[in-house]
A and B are shown apart, each in its own frame.
Chain A
């Protein structure tokens, strides 16, 4: 437990991806089974305990030092689990601290009545960091900035395997993953990929610009719309029916409507969307359905999920990945024609004669529901990762707006001495006065040289400081590029930008001439987009 606690502690302060990987790898190598397996499960959200309720922890704290001192302490620290871990004292007579395996085994068998006494004994035997980690584990939120994907990358690294080799077998494994470590570290055979319901690493595309297209032969390529949803994989075999994110996270629980509608065997690549009748709702609507533990009937009714299929990887027990795109496409369309389904449809191909024609189609497509075009070679096999050449994404030109820099915050890692996170705003009238309202935050889009320039500008124009944040004089105009905009109740301005980045620094433009909130409101799309399968310039092949 102490080693796991030290790992969580270090991860929570470490912003850099590579350093996080190094920390996890070192832990996995040095920690014996089954503890490292349980740790891996904790990092990939594969552990589920009966939660320790806040009232229990508060009661522990008040018993320990009295209500008055406990409340003063909690007030100062601001986190219940952390406060309790800090005020509790280690009892040197409490015996050795529990191992992670012991914690997991005990909690899985202990009754609700037994838990408080067991927990107290553990708190006595651990140090402050150990107590913090234990309580974080029990309250169900590690929050150390590690995604499941990153943890899998680390475990792949210790066996010098590509992460996709781990992904392919991951969903057939259960904690504490002994066969996985035996394979990666001790030359045991690779655990078999449970073909049914396993996540298959997806094929990704490289970005391309108009000018680069001329080097390519349009006859070799097929085009399809890039829908503005979430790239997913549907996998079904026997009783196992799953929905995975592009990164291999199992998101089935949040989309019972999709899972229920699976009446087939196979693995499909597609885009998860919210669709009402024939209309694809804006991305913002889909966001409402993500990361929800409980999906209410109302949510299911008002935000119905839908999958628009791009590709088929397995069909009825047959691996199709080695086939060409055209062959897979033919299988996909035949399968779909056999039995059309309400929650699944096939993304249509966009027929075009040459690049100029395709560019024209792309220009004409102004809907919110589409991010751009995908170009796929007709002869391309389905390859894991992001191979160079077979697939391209040709995104829509971003929207541009001129904003005024308002606040800057220091970055992390290599950027820790630079003001590199920028909050910007647009003008609005409030109570007869013209004022700036923050509309978004961006931390990329600029070159290293521009970052140095921005950093110096921020330091030279600071008017106020709030901890790590500096307020600056409202004098610098930034041209912000973004992919979409939607209403949001979480932001002061009532607007949320998608993927905002700094496109240009407009030292030539006076701040007073930057855009207004009204200009931004005009960019808000209509409710959604008609299904382009029915529009004039898209036809089935």
Chain B
């Protein structure tokens, strides 16, 4: 390790995204670039049109499912734990526990190690391997839920709420708003673990990624497209759809539906009401406050850069732990994510 090397001299934000100079590549860039390292498949991290893209095999498969024209991108799969040299930089991908294929990018240059964690969470997820803390000199962390008010309760407890509501309103359809990638499949797995063996109905836009998960070996049980099935079919049923569909004309086909939304934002009542949820379920694929603080301790990095979310509170917390922390503003990150 060189004490004199300034990490900002070889990894820094640019308008196109976070740029690694000695490797001449971007990490999760906001626009198409000649060479990209992609941490995971969500739309604010993975974008189409790069000339070269390095990611886990699962993330590349997700990108092929989501984007047209991926054939024009030269795809370089890198499994968890394997290493590759790009320019003068050694690149490794480590599990981030966020969604299928999600990874932290571990970059080593001249004896200095920076971990770009992407989005991550610390609690178990049946659809992906758990986050692996990697000791490093600089840790770049997300801050989506970086306030002490965000504490995600047990996910099985939240699924229990959903099943109790189904029992209380057996004649109504429970419409559950979930993000198409990751949340959808995790919620299905959690429902299965809670003993819900019945068919789970899906909005059309969720079908392709569920099929991909199944091909990747994630068993989702009996799932089917809502399609043109008659209304009677959905009494007492659980139907998953993207959150936007809850208020969409699409939802009118169900008699007196119970709108539920699965998201870390549901922790705050005003946000839950804005979403139109009658049944807010706090299920998130991001680290909560406790997990973020624990992770800073686990990786033991003397420097922490905080990106997208509530940077102020996490920077404050990190500094109180004696960490040299600062906010890092990246282009193209949307606040909404779960």
Complex CA–CA separation, A77 to B151 (angstroms): 14
Q: Which B residues, 220 to 275, have Cβ-Cβ distances below 8 Å to chain A?
A: 246-249, 251-252, 256, 259, 267-270, 272-274
B86 within 8 A of partner (CB): no
Complex CA–CA separation, A73 to B150 (angstroms): 9
Contact sample, A vs B, 7 pairs, CB 8 Å cutoff: A10-B279, A14-B278, A72-B316, A78-B270, A79-B269, A128-B267, A417-B252
Let me know if B247 and A68 touch, CB within 8 A. Answer: no
A92 within 8 A of partner (CB): no
For B277, what are the chain A residues with a Cβ–Cβ distance below 8 Å?
13
Interface residues on A, range: 20 to 34
Let me know if A87 and B149 touch, CB within 8 A. Answer: yes
A330 within 8 A of partner (CB): no
- Total chain B interface residues with beta-carbon distance under 8 A: 33
Complex CA–CA separation, A374 to B33 (angstroms): 77
Let me know if B153 and A417 touch, CB within 8 A. Answer: no
B→A interface (CB under 8 Å):
147-151, 153, 168-169, 246-249, 251-252, 256, 259, 267-270, 272-274, 276-280, 310, 312-313, 316-317
Q: What per-residue 1/0 map shows which CB atoms of A386-415 lie under 8 Å from chain B?
A: 000000000000000000000000100110
A468 within 8 A of partner (CB): yes
Among all A-B residue pairs, the 3 with the closest Cβ atoms: A86-B149, A87-B148, A73-B149
A→B interface (CB under 8 Å):
10, 12-15, 19, 22-23, 26, 65, 68-70, 72-73, 76-79, 82-83, 86-87, 89, 127-128, 410, 413-414, 416-417, 467-468
For B247, what are the chain A residues with a Cβ–Cβ distance below 8 Å?
410, 416-417
Let me know if B316 and A127 touch, CB within 8 A. Answer: no
For B273, what are the chain A residues with a Cβ–Cβ distance below 8 Å?
13
Query: A23, A65, A70 — which one has the most chain B CB atoms within 10 A of its CB?
Result: A65
Let me know if A416 and B149 touch, CB within 8 A. Answer: no
Let me know if B276 and A69 touch, CB within 8 A. Answer: no
For B279, what are the chain A residues with a Cβ–Cβ distance below 8 Å?
10, 13
Q: Report the nearest A residue to B259, measured CB to CB.
A: A416
For B169, what are the chain A residues with a Cβ–Cβ distance below 8 Å?
19, 22
For A69, what are the chain B residues with a Cβ–Cβ distance below 8 Å?
147-148, 313, 316-317
Q: Report the nearest B residue to A26, measured CB to CB.
A: B168
- Minimum Cβ distance to chain A for residue B122 (Å): 17
For B151, what are the chain A residues with a Cβ–Cβ distance below 8 Å?
86, 89, 128
For A467, what are the chain B residues with a Cβ–Cβ distance below 8 Å?
274
Let me know if A15 and B278 touch, CB within 8 A. Answer: yes
For A86, what are the chain B residues with a Cβ–Cβ distance below 8 Å?
148-151, 267-268
Complex CA–CA separation, A128 to B151 (angstroms): 9
Let me know if B310 and A72 touch, CB within 8 A. Answer: yes
Contact of B312 among A72, A413, A468 (CB under 8 A): A72
A-B contacts besides A68-B316, A417-B246, 11 pairs, CB < 8 Å: A13-B279, A14-B278, A22-B169, A69-B148, A69-B317, A72-B312, A86-B151, A414-B256, A417-B247, A417-B249, A467-B274
Let me know if B256 and A73 touch, CB within 8 A. Answer: no
For A78, what are the chain B residues with a Cβ–Cβ distance below 8 Å?
270
Q: A12-B269, A13-B280 are in contact. Are A468 and B274 (CB under 8 A)?
A: yes
Contact of A73 among B148, B168, B280 (CB under 8 A): B148
Q: Report the nearest B residue to A90, measured CB to CB.
A: B151
- Minimum Cβ distance to chain A for residue B136 (Å): 25
Contact of B268 among A13, A14, A76, A127 (CB under 8 A): A76
For A417, what are the chain B residues with a Cβ–Cβ distance below 8 Å?
246-249, 251-252
For B317, what are the chain A residues with a Cβ–Cβ distance below 8 Å?
69
- Minimum Cβ distance to chain A for residue B87 (Å): 40
For B274, what are the chain A residues with a Cβ–Cβ distance below 8 Å?
467-468
Q: A69-B316, A128-B153 are in contact. Are A82 and B278 (CB under 8 A)?
A: no
- Minimum Cβ distance to chain B for residue A144 (Å): 11
Complex CA–CA separation, A23 to B164 (angstroms): 12
Let me know if A77 and B272 touch, CB within 8 A. Answer: no
Q: A69-B313, A69-B317 are in contact. Are A77 and B168 (CB under 8 A)?
A: no
- Minimum Cβ distance to chain B for residue A294 (Å): 29
Let me know if A73 and B147 touch, CB within 8 A. Answer: yes
Contact of A65 among B148, B259, B267 (CB under 8 A): B148
Complex CA–CA separation, A128 to B277 (angstroms): 19
- Minimum Cβ distance to chain A for residue B157 (Å): 9
